[in-house]
Amino acid sequence: MNRKQLLTRQESRLNLPAAISTPPPPRQEGGRFFNVASLCKIVWKASVLFLTVILSAVTGHAMSGREVYEKVHEVRSKMLDRKTEVTMVLFDKGGGKRSRTLSEYCKRSVPEGYKVLVLFRSPPDLKDVGFLIHARTFAERDLWVYFPEYKRVRRIPTTSQDDSFFGSDFSYDDFGGPPNLDDYRFSIIKEEVLDGRPCYKVEVTPKVRRKYTRYIAWVAKELWVQLKIDYYQDKELYRTGAFKDIKVVDTIPTPFSLNVENRKTGHRTELTIESIRYHTNFTDELFTQRSLERSGR
């Protein structure tokens, strides 16, 4: 199911007036347009829904894991039009540290895809190295990389979504848009307070076995952003991600500090957002191979 279908489904479930006002389909048998039994059913369903809304407003609705992630999905979707200036610091297990700065341009594309251009600004060895992502869906995407020393744009073949993004502790999945919720199963383990914020602790399990067989995520209530994710390979904790310094920018809650650690190698990557701008509405020309070669110019 794509995101549009998903949203339609949400609307049909949550938008009560829309649900009530939707006329029932005409009955074929007997040639009668109006069917009493059908009308009774609609009235009954509407009554149940109405009662449910009222009750949840009074008692507080117990959300499902899926519903939590639908909220997260919504927030992440809003982030898709943006320009970000980022500092990335890679720490190896021996204490060595390498810093790099990069600019990221992102644009939502129809129907649920997105385009991303990442350009390295420093260190000098990596200046003007860039990546271009054209995602049709979360799983289907084309990826190119440009190395100025060779003056060549190279296509990166379809990789495992969980593969390391060029030595960092981020995966290709961590760049770009939100995943398709239908590919996962969600269940709330419990509610917990993390970094002073009430959270849902949700277990996320991919339906098809992937590198990480399950995730435990802490989703901040009200903000609907993930504050922490533990990535497991079967029972072994493989990677952890912490999202801190959350600020609301243009009504979008945004974590300004990300810290991802590979527990297996001891390698760690810290990502700090220096500046972020939403609703950028970049033109498609920015996300071309030509633009990649010209460092976004």
Partner 1 sequence: MNLTNLLRQVSLRHIKYQKAQTLLALAGISLGVAAIVSIAIVNKSVLRSFEESFQNATGRAALQVTGAQSGFPEEILDKVRSVAGVEYAVPVVETDGLLAAGKERSIMILGVDVLTDGQIRSYSLAQENADIPDPLLFLARPDSILITRAMAEREGIVIDQKIRVETVLGTRTFRVRGILNPEGPAKVMGGNLAVMDIYAAQMAFGKEGRIDRVDISLMKGEELEAVRGRIRAAIPQGYTVETPAGRTRQIEGMLSKFQTGLNLISIFAIVVGMYLIYNAVSISIVQRRKEIGILRALGVTRGEIMRLFLAETLVISIVASLLGVAIGILFAGSIVGVLGKIVSIWYARTAVTGISVSWLHPVTGIACGIAASLAAAIFPVLAGSRISPISAIRSAPWSEEGFFTGKRLNRAALFFILLAASVYALYRFAGFSPLLRSSGFLFSSQIFFLLGLSLVTPAFLRGFLTLFHRLLAYRLGSTGMLAGLNLGKNINRNAVAVAAIFFGISVFVNSAGFVYSIKSSVTIWLDAVVRADIIVSDGHPSSSTNAQTIPMPVDIWRDIEKVPGVRSADPWRKLYMDYKGKRVLLSSVDMVRRGEYSHFMVVQGREQELRRLLPNKDNVVVSEPFAEQFGVKPGDFITIPTPSGPVRCGVVAVVVDYLYDSGTICMDINTFQRHWGDRLADHFSVRVKPGEDISRVKDAIQRQLGTDRKLYVLPVREFKEEIRKAMDQTFVFNYALSIITMTIAGFGIIITLLASVLERTREIGILRSIGMLRWQVSAVVLLESLLMGTAGGILGCVAGILTGRLTLEGARYSSAVEYFIPAGTIVWALFMAAGLAAVAGIYPAHRAAKTNVVEALTYE
3-state secondary structure (DSSP) of residue 289: helix
Among 118, 119, 126, 276, binds partner 1 (CB under 8 A): 126
Our finding on whether 23 is near partner 1 (CB under 8 A) is no
**Structure tokens given for 90:** 């890679």
Closest to partner 1 by CB, 149 or 222: 149
Are the C-beta atoms of residues 202 and 217 closer than 8 Å to each other? yes
Mask for 258-277, x = binds partner 1 (CB under 8 A): ----x-xx-x----------
Shortest spacing between CB 150 and partner 1, in angstroms: 5
Window of 90-98, 197-205, 249-257, 268-276 that interacts with partner 1 by CB under 8 A: 90-98
Are the C-beta atoms of residues 194 and 177 closer than 8 Å to each other? no
Our finding on whether 154 is near partner 1 (CB under 8 A) is yes
Terminal Cα-to-Cα distance of the chain (whole angstroms): 37
Our finding on whether 49 is near partner 1 (CB under 8 A) is no
Q: Which helix (H) or strand (E) holds 244?
A: strand 236-249
Among 66, 71, 98, 210, binds partner 1 (CB under 8 A): 98
Our finding on whether 147 is near partner 1 (CB under 8 A) is yes
Torsion angle, alpha carbons of 249, 100, 90, 97, to 10: -130
Are the C-beta atoms of residues 121 and 127 closer than 8 Å to each other? yes
Our finding on whether 118 is near partner 1 (CB under 8 A) is no
Q: How big is the site for partner 1, counted in residues (CB under 8 A)?
A: 24
Our finding on whether 149 is near partner 1 (CB under 8 A) is yes
**Structure tokens given for 42:** 């609609």
Between CA 277 and CA 83 the distance in angstroms is 5
Give the number of other CB atoms < 10 A from CB of residue 179: 18
Shortest spacing between CB 60 and partner 1, in angstroms: 45
Which parts of this chain interact with partner 1 (CB under 8 A)? 90, 92, 96, 98, 125-126, 129, 145, 147, 149-150, 152, 154-157, 163-164, 166-167, 262, 264-265, 267
